[in-house]
Chain A
């Protein structure tokens, strides 16, 4: 039992904090927001140079073989700077799905490219009717003489516009015409029949909806051997939620630090706001929520490789708990900034929106408390 950072982990945190601290500011964010993809390709190259893109990829595929804890360290720093580069979609989820489901040839072909920064990935999975149910997919894949034909609609696809390859989930149409097992397909950007409806994402970055209309794919577009991909999707999303939890911790800590400073300098009735007990206790509660969120994100990361039920309960517990804490810290940060907190003139609102986006992604607290209870056998799925 040891929860202290190793020397490598401490170095990673220092370099991430330094890079983010020096690079990301209001000016940088404005420039990123003006980029078509919502982030900077030059910065992505620097991520590659720093070894961050290779971090969780296996050494056999050009990576460094890091784990969920290292990802968490990076993501917390990303949260502090509201980083919009597609680390989650490309490295954590995209490369994670290829590593979990891909054939050896696909891993060899794609993962080194992620590590070196030349390949952006995205995962198109959520659908309107499914809400947050990962198993509910109505997009269909029909086998054709030359490969596959995909049709369906996907929503909330992170960084889909930037992606060179979008990993699309679909159910195989069986001979009987019924929907069969869930499979993943690699769909290159610009494939005829796929329309990307790109939009700016709450809190920074881009996302899109996808229309897939008779999209023709070669046989080798299928990721892996065509076995049921749902367990891999669940595992990778659990990992993504742990990573997002750490990002949320970075955002929350920044909101707390900023709000704390503000209450020290803002004077009303002849004294700083922070001299008032009602404010002091609110800040104490915010600090506690930050600390609990930190514990839960770390717990989810440390359990990312545990057996599936324990792993998923840790991930859902973290998502639910951090979501609740994040809302509290975000709303109180705005409240304590007074009217200024409601304007776009301060960064507070940006951080607020990013936490709201965090809470929304992959399901909010209500969904994840329920999933936690289901996996614990308390409520029927």
Chain B
């Protein structure tokens, strides 16, 4: 057993560092630091995606034949860790990390040829149509219907919590193509052009004041059957496969460590009147740091298992749970660290393009919105309660 990286891996680390130094502009870095929602806006996020793609690093998890860089799990770890450390934009994961693997795994040759290059290059911007107003944690109860009409499906219904639907030109969605006894069996996975007539998008503001999610309505929306991925009625299986990617992204500790570092720096600065001198704050910083150490170690254990070809199993639920809880602990600490300045509300977005002097030092602006929006971490991608059910079932066998 050994925690250190090899000479080759160290060299790769330097390569990543050099790439980031050469491509991450101060504007991108500032915009990322001042974005209190999960993902960067597309102008920032896609600029980074294009830079990565140009370097051949656009899709770290994909097989080489589709444009992946053929990295070992350790290289992926290093890439994610260096990216987090440098504060690169948070590229919307719906394309590269979510629909991409499903198309690679279950799509037709035509779908692969058409969609995958456009995901890599950032030409397409994806959103995810899973949740519905009546189907949150109980996703399989979804009601949006796709009725076969010749070579098309006609889709009616509504999707909600659709991240960046207002930016996306494409959506991958789970729709009901059949009424079956077991409701999971009637679901299909379908790719929808967002410009298709009959689609309307309503913004939903989150409690931090950000427009990141939406409700999307489908009113007799005609989608070619050729846009279905895989078999009719197998959408649930494909969707679950994807959710495992969403949960088990697997390399979250580096971002958490960076988020804690940001708060720690604030706590040690005169801006907050040196919040760290309050021993309660200092101890919480250590508690969170230790939790991040534990999560990182679990991630590395999973990584090691992957490197030797073992299946890490249901541990993705544990990683998701802990990541979301620690994330919330960091944002809570942030609010406590900035003290009085937490009272100031800046409603204008994006925060990095204000046309006026902000009420408090700029770097404090995202702290309260991050805490507020961050309540969603334990809800999206399967709530913490759902994750505990998965752990009970898959890890404990009850």
Contacts and interface: CB of A to CB of B under 8 A. Distances in A.
Interface of A: 1-6, 9, 69, 260, 263-264, 274, 277, 280-281, 283-285, 287-288, 291-292, 295-296, 298-299, 302-303, 314, 317, 320-321, 369-370, 372-373, 376, 378-379
Given A283-B396, A284-B396, A296-B294, A1 B283 contact: no
Given A3-B304, A288-B322, A376 B286 contact: yes
Interface of B: 1-6, 9, 74, 77, 276, 279, 282-283, 285-287, 289-291, 293-295, 297-298, 300-301, 303-305, 307-308, 315, 318, 321-322, 385, 387-389, 391-392, 395-396, 398
Given A4-B308, A295-B301, A281 B388 contact: yes
A45 B134 CA distance: 66
B322 A292 contact: yes
Given A3-B300, A5-B1, A284 B290 contact: no
B305 A4 contact: yes
A283 B392 contact: yes
A183 B125 CA distance: 68
A126 to B, nearest CB: 23
B249 to A, nearest CB: 18
Given A264-B398, A298-B301, A370-B286, 11 more contacts: A2-B304, A2-B307, A281-B389, A283-B396, A284-B389, A284-B391, A295-B294, A302-B1, A302-B2, A373-B283, A379-B283
A267 to B, nearest CB: 14
B282 to A, nearest CB: 4
B304 A378 contact: no
B391 A288 contact: yes
Given A292-B298, A302-B1, A369 B290 contact: yes
Task: Tell me the interface secondary structure of chain B in the complex.
Answer: helix
27 contacts: A1-B6, A1-B303, A1-B304, A3-B303, A4-B304, A4-B308, A5-B1, A260-B398, A264-B398, A281-B392, A283-B398, A296-B294, A298-B301, A299-B297, A302-B1, A303-B3, A317-B286, A321-B290, A321-B291, A321-B294, A372-B286, A372-B289, A372-B290, A373-B283, A376-B286, A378-B285, A379-B282
A1 B4 contact: yes
Contact of B287 (A9, A283, A369): A369
B297 A298 contact: yes
Contacts of B6: 1
A281 B321 CA distance: 12
Contacts of A369: 283, 286-287, 290
Nearest to A371: B286
Contacts of A69: 1
**9 closest A-B pairs (Cβ-Cβ)?**
A295-B297, A3-B304, A284-B391, A280-B392, A378-B282, A284-B388, A373-B286, A317-B290, A274-B398
Contacts of A6: 1
Contact of B396 (A2, A287, A378): A287
A263 B398 CA distance: 9
B196 to A, nearest CB: 41
Given A291-B318, A378-B276, A1 B290 contact: no
Nearest to A9: B1
B293 to A, nearest CB: 6
A244 to B, nearest CB: 16
B283 A3 contact: no
Contacts of B303: 1, 3
A277 B321 CA distance: 17
Given A2-B1, A295-B301, A287 B391 contact: yes
A73 to B, nearest CB: 10
Contacts of A284: 387-389, 391-392, 395-396
A8 to B, nearest CB: 11
A9 B2 CA distance: 13
Contact of A378 (B2, B5, B286, B318): B286
A263 B1 CA distance: 36
Contacts of A378: 276, 282-283, 285-286
B300 A1 contact: yes
Contacts of B295: 292, 295
B309 to A, nearest CB: 10
Contacts of A287: 318, 391, 395-396
Contacts of B385: 281
Nearest to B291: A321
A255 to B, nearest CB: 13
A379 B279 CA distance: 7
A321 to B, nearest CB: 5
B297 A296 contact: yes
A312 B225 CA distance: 61
Contacts of B290: 296, 317, 320-321, 369, 372
A1 B392 contact: no
B1 A3 contact: yes
A320 B283 CA distance: 11
A263 B291 CA distance: 29
A351 B392 CA distance: 23
B318 A288 contact: yes
A336 to B, nearest CB: 12
B298 A291 contact: yes
A317 B4 CA distance: 19
B304 A292 contact: no
Contacts of A264: 398
Contacts of A280: 388-389, 392, 396, 398
A27 B321 CA distance: 41
A369 B284 CA distance: 9
Contact of B283 (A291, A299, A317, A370): A370
A314 B301 CA distance: 17
Given A296-B294, A378-B286, A3 B388 contact: no
